[in-house]
Chains A and B, each alone.
Chain A
């Protein structure tokens, strides 16, 4: 007699089928310590054996802002209202950096972790999640420098007004993180088989920045290039950048329709990314 035949209580089954949308929250919760340790690893190892250490987090946005101010504001003459151009650029760059860090980090998930994924199983989604979270910490540090300059300009006598909608800023950042995660998961899945996408992402992000209203107000592009304005209008990122600048500096205008559109695009992209990611994680090791 074989009692196992009578007792169908298998703990789990490994099958070739893919369960779409199988985001196993219970499993992710079991591995929460791993998520935490990955975040810790990412944060503490990035600047080990560097002299300036975490200061590198600050140097990059500051220099980019200075460059943008010189080129776009002083040379090209883009007007930023009553806001100091440097602060205007710093706000855009800080927020934009968070998105690109999430996107480039997660889009490399499978390729960069092939050796570890090839040997041991854990919910793969832990890796991109840890990237989004550790970049949030980096964003936090960069945001502090923005606050410092905000206070500096305020004391210097600029007319800076806090906007009441600032309380929704974390929501905006969360949407941005999820958008980066969704898009990153999508790309990382495709990179496993077709490396073409990893070439695409490098310059794709560059181009996207110019379409995302990082260094100019959205309104300005619509006025100056009415024929190309739609490119920015269909870009969900432009709304996020524009809205965050509105919240932080009280400039520009918020399009509610645009925000709803952004939200819907984010949700759709996230679920498509998740679906493809889940499908890929089962067999990517054979094609990577």
Chain B
């Protein structure tokens, strides 16, 4: 099989200088220039650290990207996922020629157009129609191309009524719709999209995802897509790369990529060391375990253990709670000890069990948030304490498995015929 590679990134690295631009910058600039005219290498390229936002480094220089290599085939929709600060946006900026890489090169067989935050170059004083032309031209369309698609663009945006009104009178949602509509009708071979879907209402988001699917599937265009919305990534992309601290740590199918991303999200530190907690902290949840973690199935008995301890005496705990979320960040179930009034006289430290008989979740990856409260209020709340996979099972005993597309929850139900002959 020969592959039709449309885009190739080779050893892309990007270095940034931290801190403020001041007099120190000038001395570095002069030093760099002095090395350059003597034909020597840039002295500041040798130093630099892995880009980890949370730890303080010793060097003023960091590598936002380090040795990024990947290839994209024609017609592929590549999802680029990673935590904030992993280097995704920097990579897209290099791809869309906004900034140059420090080392390495990108080779392309097609025009690249970017959609880094929509509404770029919109001018509030100009009307919607004028802005369509201006924005289209900024994105690389000719006037002729825009004119031929004007009617479609206006229709897709759903802003027909306001099209001759200055954009400054638009609501933010309308501006986004109009901007996305312009970009959606661009015809570059490679389209770069960053976080567009974070805005607009649900209906428009659906429309936008549909349009992007058309672009990639119907028209065979190549799309590079960066988003934190795993649902959008999953439904759009065919392949994914996972980035961490400026490096590509995974490259493969989109499902595995999402799994990989979710599993690395917080698991590298133990719960007890987590600092991202809410609440007064007089009581702390120190560990969360799921019994038989590896074999949770739809319909099975799931038992969650909450280990807690009191930091400040006389904590008077009165509630434990859990919530289960899917990877699209939807809350599926909330559980609380107060719902059923089952926990009384809670000791100052110990282990609490929560049992879910007949677990109703369908196959998929889920995560847990948990909290503990006392009569004084919220003591401790931690997000994403544990992730778990639910496997398919023959829950109804009929050999049928339930597709996660059909819904997140399975409940017992019965079907029968109503006898209509008797009145």
A252 to chain B, nearest CB (A): 42
Which of B2, B116, B130, B142 meets A33, CB within 8 Å? B142
User: Does A31 lie at the interface of the complex (its beta carbon under 8 Å from any beta carbon of B)?
Assistant: yes
Q: Which residues of A contact B393 (CB under 8 A)?
A: none
Q: Which residues of A contact B134 (CB under 8 A)?
A: 37-38, 41
Which of B3, B17, B26 meets A4, CB within 8 Å? B3
Interchain residue pairs A-B with the least CB separation, the first 3: A121-B97, A34-B137, A4-B5
Q: Would A1 and B21 count as touching, CB distance under 8 A? A: no
A115 to chain B, nearest CB (A): 8
How many B residues have CB within 8 A of the partner chain?
49
27 A-B residue contacts at CB 8 Å?
A1-B1, A3-B2, A3-B3, A4-B3, A4-B5, A10-B108, A12-B108, A14-B100, A14-B101, A15-B105, A15-B106, A16-B101, A16-B102, A16-B103, A31-B137, A33-B142, A34-B137, A37-B137, A44-B125, A115-B120, A117-B98, A120-B120, A121-B97, A122-B138, A193-B21, A285-B93, A286-B99
Q: Would B133 and A120 count as touching, CB distance under 8 A? A: no
User: Does A79 lie at the interface of the complex (its beta carbon under 8 Å from any beta carbon of B)?
Assistant: no
Q: Which residues of A contact B121 (CB under 8 A)?
A: 116, 120
Beta-carbon nearest neighbor of B114 in chain A: A120
Q: Which residues of A contact B8 (CB under 8 A)?
A: 4
Whether A14 contacts B140 in the complex (CB less than 8 A), given A116-B121, A286-B16, A287-B21, comes out as no
Beta-carbon nearest neighbor of A193 in chain B: B21
User: Does B35 lie at the interface of the complex (its beta carbon under 8 Å from any beta carbon of A)?
Assistant: no
User: Does B25 lie at the interface of the complex (its beta carbon under 8 Å from any beta carbon of A)?
Assistant: yes
Q: Would B137 and A119 count as touching, CB distance under 8 A? A: no
B132 to chain A, nearest CB (A): 11
User: Does B295 lie at the interface of the complex (its beta carbon under 8 Å from any beta carbon of A)?
Assistant: no
Q: Which residues of A contact B355 (CB under 8 A)?
A: none
Q: Which residues of A contact B137 (CB under 8 A)?
A: 31, 33-34, 37
Q: Would A33 and B98 count as touching, CB distance under 8 A? A: no
Q: Which residues of A contact B143 (CB under 8 A)?
A: 33, 36-37
Q: Would A34 and B138 count as touching, CB distance under 8 A? A: yes
Q: Would B133 and A37 count as touching, CB distance under 8 A? A: yes
A191 to chain B, nearest CB (A): 12
Beta-carbon nearest neighbor of B22 in chain A: A194
Which of B94, B120, B130 meets A14, CB within 8 Å? B94
Q: Which of A12, A13, A33, A44 has the most CB of B within 10 A?
A: A33
Q: Would A13 and B25 count as touching, CB distance under 8 A? A: no
Q: Which residues of A contact B100 (CB under 8 A)?
A: 14-16, 282-283
The distance in angstroms between the C-alpha atoms of A2 and B73, with both chains bound, is 12
Whether A48 contacts B125 in the complex (CB less than 8 A), given A16-B104, A116-B138, A193-B25, comes out as yes
Q: Would A119 and B123 count as touching, CB distance under 8 A? A: no
User: Does A11 lie at the interface of the complex (its beta carbon under 8 Å from any beta carbon of B)?
Assistant: yes
Report the contact-size class of chain A (Cβ under 8 Å from the partner): 35 or more
**Chain A interfacial positions (CB closer than 8 Å to B):** 1-4, 9-16, 30-31, 33-34, 36-38, 41, 44-45, 48-49, 115-122, 193-194, 282-283, 285-287
The distance in angstroms between the C-alpha atoms of A14 and B134, with both chains bound, is 26
- Within B172-186, which residues are at the interface with A (CB < 8 Å)? none
Whether A45 contacts B125 in the complex (CB less than 8 A), given A3-B2, A14-B106, comes out as yes
Q: Mark B127-161, 1 if CB is under 8 A from A, else 0.
A: 00010011001111111000000000000000000
A39 to chain B, nearest CB (A): 11
User: Does B328 lie at the interface of the complex (its beta carbon under 8 Å from any beta carbon of A)?
Assistant: no
Given A4-B3, A15-B101, A45-B123, 9 other A-B residues pairs in contact with their CB atoms under 8 A: A12-B107, A15-B104, A16-B100, A41-B130, A119-B98, A120-B98, A121-B97, A193-B21, A283-B100
User: Does B126 lie at the interface of the complex (its beta carbon under 8 Å from any beta carbon of A)?
Assistant: yes
A194 to chain B, nearest CB (A): 7
User: Does B66 lie at the interface of the complex (its beta carbon under 8 Å from any beta carbon of A)?
Assistant: no
Q: Which residues of A contact B52 (CB under 8 A)?
A: none
Q: Would A120 and B96 count as touching, CB distance under 8 A? A: yes
**Chain B interfacial positions (CB closer than 8 Å to A):** 1-5, 8, 16-17, 21, 25-26, 29, 93-111, 114, 116-117, 120-121, 123, 125-126, 130, 133-134, 137-143
Which of B93, B126, B141 meets A44, CB within 8 Å? B126
Q: Would A120 and B123 count as touching, CB distance under 8 A? A: no
Q: Which residues of A contact B108 (CB under 8 A)?
A: 10-14
Q: Which residues of A contact B16 (CB under 8 A)?
A: 286
Q: Would B114 and A121 count as touching, CB distance under 8 A? A: yes
Q: Would A283 and B99 count as touching, CB distance under 8 A? A: yes
A49 to chain B, nearest CB (A): 8
Q: Which of A118, A120, A285, A287 has the most CB of B within 10 A?
A: A120
Q: Which residues of B contact A285 (CB under 8 A)?
A: 93, 98-99
Q: Which residues of B contact A2 (CB under 8 A)?
A: 2-3, 5
Beta-carbon nearest neighbor of A284 in chain B: B99
Beta-carbon nearest neighbor of A33 in chain B: B143
Beta-carbon nearest neighbor of A116 in chain B: B121
The distance in angstroms between the C-alpha atoms of A16 and B96, with both chains bound, is 14
The distance in angstroms between the C-alpha atoms of A37 and B141, with both chains bound, is 12
The distance in angstroms between the C-alpha atoms of A3 and B1, with both chains bound, is 9
Q: Would A121 and B107 count as touching, CB distance under 8 A? A: no
Q: Would A118 and B21 count as touching, CB distance under 8 A? A: no
